[in-house]
Amino acid sequence: IPLVEDVCEAHGATFKTRKLGSYGLISNFSFYYAHHMSTIEGGMVCTDDEEIYQILRMFRSHGMIREANNEEVKNKYISNYKDLNPDFIFAFPGYNVRNTEVGAVIGRNQLKRLDENIKKRNKNLALFLDGLNKKLYRKDFILEGCSNYAFPLVLKKPDFEFRDRLESHMRKNGIEFRRGNAGGGNQMRQPYLRGIVKNKEWEKYPEAEHIHHFGWYIGNYPDLEELKILNLCKLLNDLY
Ligand SMILES: Cc1ncc(COP(=O)(O)O)c(C=O)c1O
């Protein structure tokens, strides 16, 4: 099974001392502005497979072969499609997802602070988890190799009534949150997978289901003050 690593919000994280993004056949990183580093929008795909690399270069630019930088790849298309203008051969249905020079300048400058910012993010996370009430929330996360994006708040036990109270408590106190953690919880429940994934298939994945209903992301960022984290924990614990 080819491994595609989604490292969109885990820049710099490691597993067994190796950086995430270096294990898979392909890995992708996001530079969306809430993430560890940003080019305002955009991201990066990594691979050490030459064929995939050439395809990716084409993909990001309308699927056009002139974006490939391997002459052999380009010439193959040119000789197979002699009726086409070589400057406009669309090998794949693609979009325009090219980033800009301005984005590159912003991103390369952020790169200089990335390691330092990851340490600050992880320190914030440790303080957050330490402050949570262990009767209500999960605290036993493995933090080795972690590069925290957002604070994971996960109920210990399933409880819809408590969940709704907690959400209105957070709203009332101006705490922004995202239920389902990264990207909308259990993906099998999302409309784009209905019809592909069997109905109720999602019920076979109790951990994803638990996070879907009883897990949240709360924003973390390098300059987040300690006092704010302590106040956040107090507010979350007060709801007992
Ligand atoms: C796990 C994961 N993958 C992919 C994405 C999408 O990243 P982007 O908005 O840069 O396309 C996100 C977005 O936050 C994410 O959380």
**Structural domains present in the chain:** 4-101 (3.40.640.10), 114-237 (3.90.1150.10)
Contact 8 CB / ligand 1 (< 6 Å) = yes
How far apart are the C-alpha atoms of 237 and 179, rounded to whole Å? 18
* 103 CA from centroid of ligand 1 (Å): 17
Instruction: Tell me the CA–centroid distance for residue 49 and ligand 1, in Å.
Output: 23
pLDDT at residue 93, as a whole number: 95
Q: Annotated catalytic sites, by residue?
A: 35
pLDDT of residue 182: 83
Question: What is the reported pLDDT for 103?
Answer: 95
The residue nearest atom 9 of ligand 1, judged by CA position, is 32
Is the shortest distance between the CB of 81 and ligand 1 below 6 Å? no
Residue nearest to atom 4 of ligand 1 (CA): 8
Task: Note the pLDDT of residue 183.
Answer: 82
List the chain pLDDT tens, one digit each, 240 residues: 999 999 999 999 999 989 999 999 999 999 998 899 999 999 999 999 999 999 999 999 999 999 999 999 999 999 999 999 999 999 999 999 999 999 999 999 999 999 999 999 999 999 999 999 999 999 999 999 999 999 999 999 999 999 999 999 999 999 999 999 988 899 999 999 988 999 999 999 999 999 999 999 999 999 999 999 999 999 999 987
Nearest CA to ligand 1 atom 12: 8
Q: Which atom of ligand 1 is nearest to the CA of 34?
A: 14
146: helix, strand or coil: coil
Kindly give the distance from the C-alpha atom of residue 163 to the centroid of ligand 1, in angstroms, as a whole number. 25
Kindly provide the residue ranges of all beta strands, DSSP E only, lying in the chain, ordered along the sequence.
Answer: 4-6, 14-15, 18-19, 26-30, 43-47, 150-154, 178-179, 215-219
Q: Which residue in this structure is represented by tokens 């897990």?
A: 215
19 three-class SS: strand
Cβ neighbour number for residue 180 with a 10 Å cutoff: 19
Residue 215: its pLDDT value, please?
A: 98
